[in-house]
Chain A
Amino acid sequence: GENVEQHPSTLSVQEGDSAVIKCTYSDSASNYFPWYKQELGKRPQLIIDIRSNVGEKKDQRIAVTLNKTAKHFSLHITETQPEDSAVYFCAASLSGFGNEKLTFGTGTRLTIIP
């Protein structure tokens, strides 16, 4: 089955700097890669996702890149703000065939230092 590795486990950055979180996946058939943000005690919320037919997607300060050959994808947050502090989870899925279970990475605790 699919296995997703995520690094780093913790990340501290100065407010205004950029943060990068990296994930690798094992199943080359996976074609959907969402990123979820989870604040303490709250539900995971989708912040951005990418499908395997594109290499990069951007939404304001957040971008995701995908390298299918190397089987890794990354989350980039620019101009970080205190409200970006949370745990971020990457996930991988084989989508389009009816099941779409998500296999999650181990999470990255991002702390923005004011």
Chain B
Amino acid sequence: EPEVTQTPSHQVTQMGQEVILRCVPISNHLYFYWYRQILGQKVEFLVSFYNNEISEKSEIFDDQFSVERPDGSNFTLKIRSTKLEDSAMYFCASRAGTGGNYEQYFGPGTRLTVT
């Protein structure tokens, strides 16, 4: 069964540095998402992306965050200047968007540690 993949699995960075988290959604899916989960807490929506543009973003997704789909397969999340509170597990998800299927498939996550 096709799966969403993410790299790296763990990223350690210093405060103020830029990071790029990478995701390869399931082929032929049309909708893409980023969520984050601070350790021991619930999963929180960051941003949704469709047709090469952001369709919705949360209040967490401020000017330090950006997303991009640079080619036909990758979907990236960039944090321009990381803060300690950005430390979390970041999950990418994708959804087919056809056939009335609403299921979102999650990737294995990237654990971001900001020191």
User: What residues make up the interface of A, taking CB atoms closer than 8 Å to B?
Assistant: 32, 34, 36, 42-46, 49, 51, 89, 93, 95-96, 98-107
Known: A98-B55, A99-B55, A100-B31. A46 touches B42 (CB 8 A): no
Structural contact, A104 and B56, CB atoms closer than 8 A: no
A-B interface, 4 closest residue pairs, ranked by CB to CB distance from nearest: A43-B106, A95-B102, A104-B43, A101-B45
Q: Interface on chain B toward A: helix, strand, loop, or mixed SS?
A: strand
Chain A residues with Cβ under 8 A from B48's Cβ? 99-101
How many chain B residues touch A (Cβ–Cβ < 8 Å)? 24
Known: A43-B106, A43-B107, A45-B106. A102 touches B45 (CB 8 A): yes
Most buried by B among A44, A49, A96: A44
User: What residues make up the interface of B, taking CB atoms closer than 8 Å to A?
Assistant: 31, 33, 35, 41-45, 48, 50, 55-56, 58, 91, 95, 97, 102-109
Shortest beta-carbon distance from A99 to chain B in Å: 5
Structural contact, A101 and B56, CB atoms closer than 8 A: yes
Chain A residues with Cβ under 8 A from B91's Cβ? 43-44
**How far is A105 from B102 in the complex, measured between Cα atoms in Å?**
18
List 11 A-B pairs, Cβ < 8 Å: A36-B43, A43-B109, A46-B103, A89-B43, A99-B31, A99-B50, A99-B55, A100-B31, A102-B35, A102-B104, A104-B43
Structural contact, B102 and A49, CB atoms closer than 8 A: yes
